[in-house]
Amino acid sequence: MTPMLSQPADAGPPGLPGKTAMRVDTALGAGAVLHAFDTDQPVLHARWLFRTDTAGAGSIAIAGGIDPAGLSGWQLWLDTDPRQVRLGMGGAQLVAELPDALAWHCVEVRLDAADHTAGLHLNGVERDAQATPLSPTRYVWLGAAFPADGFVGTIDFDRWALSTQPIGVPLAKPTADHAGDPRRWLAVYNRTDADSCAWADTYRHRRGLPYANLCGLDLPTSETIGAASFEAMRQQINAYLDDNRLRGQVVGVLLGLNVPGYADLAGQDTPTPIASYLHTDDPHGLPVVNPLYRGTITQRPTAPDFAGVRLTGRIDAASLADAVAMIDRADALTADPLAHDQGADLLIDLNPDNPDVGPVYTQPVADWANGIGSARLRLPKVVYDGAAPTAASNDAVLWGWRDAAPPADFFGPPAGRRAACLQFAPGAEPAVTARDPLAADWLSRALYAGYAYAAAPSRAYSLSALPLPHLFFEALRQGWTVAEAWLVAKPFLRDALQIVGDPLMPVPFPKSGYDVFGPAPRLDAIDFESPLAVLHAGERGLPLAPSDLPDEHSQARYLVRRFDEQGRPDHASASVLVSIAGGTPFRPAPPAWPTEEGWPALQRGGKSILSAHWPASLRSLGVGSVQLESQAGTEPPATANSTTPQAGQRAVSFSIDHPTQPTRYRITAVQGDAVINTPWSAVVAPAAAPGRALTVLEASS
């Protein structure tokens, strides 16, 4: 059977645009491509991308070289049954095993006739090499010229390249400078583990990582490794970045399923998270100052800002299904913002059990928790500053530092989606696994309770390394990914702290709600950079504290600005005027024009105040008197009060005692013998509810 070479549109790998893909179909006629060099090539590198999951059975030679004498010098074979590629050179051969679950593979052969050595690279890593007699290459053929008996199926291939220098995996250039671009991440998987390979292909598909950004290494499957194994792993990651020209492009490293997550290093009581140590290339284990740490969140870091520093992440679990579930949770959170009416709360535990923790660490967190910072997340919040919380059934985000492990029934079934659980107690149960659903530490308990990501220390650490919540959550609020927010909030690198979950996940907090500004003597004096309060969409009022109110016998302006679901300020911001009389705040009557209905009746000093305004003076309108009519129940209207307008007067107010039953009041204007009934009226209840506080949002509604 002689195969046919074709070029269908669907033969190329995902994420690599172009029209260079080809397909070898063994069920059709003859076809091949032959490339001739101008001179003999003593050193040759040849690279292809192959799709192997469509090859059904048997072996097929998919490329080969011919020496100057016209003899076959080498052949590259695909063996589907043992799942390997094989470089044959006369009597010698090199072999590389194909990882399970990956559809496409990058194969590069190195043939050096000058020093008689050959190498076989698979997916960016050299898998086999040996010294062997070689002749220079004069021709290279591409096509299935030599299918073995019994071979069936098709093979797609792309990115064929020939060079005298190492070529490496085909790169997909980033589309953005910041680390939210998947092409700026390297996902490390364990090619000796089938589930890890399957996870890598799933993550690539779901997040859009190019194949070049999947780094398969032969690693132990144990979660904790020794110092020597960790150093070898670190060197392999760096070598992959250097050999495949990814050093300047990749700014983040993600450790995948069944990749070791902890290193048992000398001088540490418990294992240290490997992701923490991979923040830099420094082989030493000392903490270093984080150059990206700032007191406030400003500009999002871009690739040049990460010189010498890496983002890191980890997705690991007891099974492939649990690891994929983390990706599912990230997708769900990314697609739909958290919302207070879906059971999303912010739970903050301020009181560490450790009495040695001083206010120098607790006060900044308390200031954020009780101030505007946490309110900007626009979630209902519960702040514990005494007894420990006993349960977290409706939470979206939990931040705290309790030394004790969570109670057995702490994480009940969530009423809403769970985004993050971050517990930083320096003396808590060490978090040294992400694969054990029954582990007692905060990290494991949170991950298996359904959180999209969780953070906890693996051992005691200095609280000077505590990530600051105002930096972490402000970065998330601005749309950064979890990994970016985590890094810029850490004062130091290389510590016992870790975060597990999809590092490319943003957390879209709700944007709708209200900002309240004031008090100010005039609207033009309001500072729009410093709101008095930030409220979520479910908060319908803001009680005014004495410090928020104007002085006795003066007035102050408040402005309520509404934000919609996209975080855009509503153009119809409401202005509220508040006064003090007898130590009680009240709202002066706003204008009520003749076309308004339901004008307000205000309560002041045990009486109801009914006011109306006209666009011009009453005398200029020919009004001789203004009357207040009352109507109790079904009784006919009766005149309750009357006044004669003075020169220039445009407003009238009537003060009445509270009626004994609900009574409707209407203001009418009298012009000579004509009575003008206006459409505005108000119902006054028998008495105002005693002790009821005025709220700004009520005043604006």
Residues 15-58 have pLDDT tens digits of: 676 666 766 655 433 445 677 888 889 999 999 888 888 888 88
Could you report the per-residue pLDDT of 598-611, keeping only the tens digit for each? 556 676 767 888 87
Given a cut of 80, whether residue 101 has pLDDT beyond it is: yes
The pLDDT assigned to 585 comes to 67
Burial 417-433 (b: 16+ CB within 10 A, else e): bbbbbbbbbbbbbbbbb
The pLDDT assigned to 45 comes to 95
The pLDDT assigned to 321 comes to 97
Helix (H), strand (E) at residue 242? helix 227-243
The pLDDT assigned to 694 comes to 39
Q: How confident is the model at residue 330 (pLDDT cuts 50, 70, 90)?
A: very high
Identify whether the C-beta of residue 74 lies closer than 8 Å to the C-beta of residue 88. Answer: yes
The pLDDT assigned to 572 comes to 61
Residue with the bigger pLDDT between 548 and 335: it is 335
Q: How far is CA 101 from CA 197, 388, 609, in A?
A: 6, 46, 77
Which pTM was predicted?
A: 0.79
Given a cut of 90, whether residue 454 has pLDDT beyond it is: yes
Could you report the per-residue pLDDT of 492-548, keeping only the tens digit for each? 988 899 999 999 999 999 999 999 998 888 888 888 888 999 999 988 788 877 777
Helix-then-strand count for the chain, H and E: 10, 41
Identify whether the C-beta of residue 180 lies closer than 8 Å to the C-beta of residue 221. Answer: no
Q: Match 């021709």 to its residue by tokens.
A: 139
CA distance 380 to 536: 7
DSSP 3-state of 578 = strand
Given a cut of 60, whether residue 428 has pLDDT beyond it is: yes
CA distance 143 to 106: 16
Could you report the per-residue pLDDT of 191-223, keeping only the tens digit for each? 999 999 999 999 999 999 999 999 999 999 999
Could you report the per-residue pLDDT of 437-449, keeping only the tens digit for each? 999 999 999 999 9
Identify whether the C-beta of residue 292 lies closer than 8 Å to the C-beta of residue 230. Answer: no
Q: What is the identity of the amino acid at 335?
A: A
Whether the ω angle into residue 210 lies within 30 degrees of 0, i.e. cis, is no
Q: What single DSSP character describes residue 532?
A: S
DSSP 3-state of 497 = strand
Which segments of 87-137 does DSSP mark as H helices, in order?
A: none
Highest mean pLDDT among 15-19, 254-258, 266-270: 254-258
Could you report the per-residue pLDDT of 61-99, keeping only the tens digit for each? 888 898 888 888 899 999 988 889 999 998 899 999 998
Count the alpha carbons within 13 Å of 497 in the hemisphere toward its beta carbon. 24
Given a cut of 90, whether residue 304 has pLDDT beyond it is: yes
361-375, 553-567, 580-594: least confidently modelled range:
580-594
Other CB atoms closer than 10 Å to residue 105's CB: what's the count? 22
Q: Locate 181 and state its tokens.
A: 């671009």
Given a cut of 70, whether residue 630 has pLDDT beyond it is: yes
Q: How confident is the model at residue 119 (pLDDT cuts 50, 70, 90)?
A: very high
Q: Residue 205: what are its φ and ψ, rounded to 5°?
A: -65, -40
Identify whether the C-beta of residue 269 lies closer than 8 Å to the C-beta of residue 459. Answer: yes
Over residues 142-151, the mean pLDDT reads: 69
The pLDDT assigned to 58 comes to 87
CA distance 222 to 230: 12
Helix (H), strand (E) at residue 332? helix 320-335
Q: Locate 537 and state its tokens.
A: 């969409």
Could you report the per-residue pLDDT of 32-43, keeping only the tens digit for each? 567 788 888 999
Over residues 418-424, the mean pLDDT reads: 93
Return all residues near 536 (Cβ < 8 A) that are at least 6 apart.
Answer: 340, 375, 378, 379, 380, 510, 512, 513
CA distance 472 to 293: 11
Q: How far is CA 607 from CA 269, 296, 610, 656, in A?
A: 72, 50, 10, 6
Q: How confident is the model at residue 275 (pLDDT cuts 50, 70, 90)?
A: very high
The pLDDT assigned to 693 comes to 40
Identify whether the C-beta of residue 402 lies closer than 8 Å to the C-beta of residue 425. Answer: yes
The pLDDT assigned to 588 comes to 57
The pLDDT assigned to 26 comes to 52
